[in-house]
Chain A
């Protein structure tokens, strides 16, 4: 089946690193994504990783992929108050001859001083 799971809430202090975790079930997923949703806004594509990679770094963001355990994580270095948002993990699922994004429930990141 298709399922993406994330913890629902994470609280960190400003300046610390945040790590948001995600597990997925579709081993055939070719791409895995992290989206950010700020209050009242749409989803912003933060980064994505191809399934044959273990790690991808983009400025303060580091994505780690453990394909064996079907585990994806997003590390935000030097977390700022502007990083407070809901972060969605998503995988590409192939079903019925087409690709579709399957989202987790989202992790609400709260950054406090």
Chain B
């Protein structure tokens, strides 16, 4: 158990819908990272927040957004969902913003039908 929690574990929704994925980092970690794991793209970095502020953006679509709250939990919002958005979404956390040791949550499996 890494100490990073994610909810929900599974999510099934229809195309065009919007969903919110939630992540709680390890106690004491200030950085949260979001990754997408799909069969065709592999593991891809989406976005990083550090102590409430966006720090870095990776291959994140404009339809996706995230935020980190004062209690350091983070939410990833996915809107106008398409079939190709079906994937495992992982959250990771680290103590500092450099991300040298990232600990991953169990992931949320999103299925878009």
Contacts and interface: CB of A to CB of B under 8 A. Distances in A.
Contacts of A102: 45
Interface string A67-109: 0000000000000000000001000100011111111111000
Interface stretch (A10-18, A19-27, A36-44, A52-60): A36-44
Size bin of chain B's contact surface: 20 to 34
| Interface of chain A: mostly helix, strand, loop or mixed | strand
Contacts of A43: 43, 90, 92, 104
Contact of B102 (A97, A101, A104): A101
Contacts of A100: 45, 48, 56, 58, 99
Size bin of chain A's contact surface: 20 to 34
A99 B43 contact: no
A45 to B, nearest CB: 6
Contacts, number: 55
A88 B102 CA distance: 14
Interface in B72-109: 90, 92, 97-107
A92 to B, nearest CB: 7
12 contacts: A30-B100, A42-B107, A44-B2, A45-B102, A48-B101, A88-B43, A96-B56, A97-B56, A98-B55, A100-B56, A104-B42, A105-B42
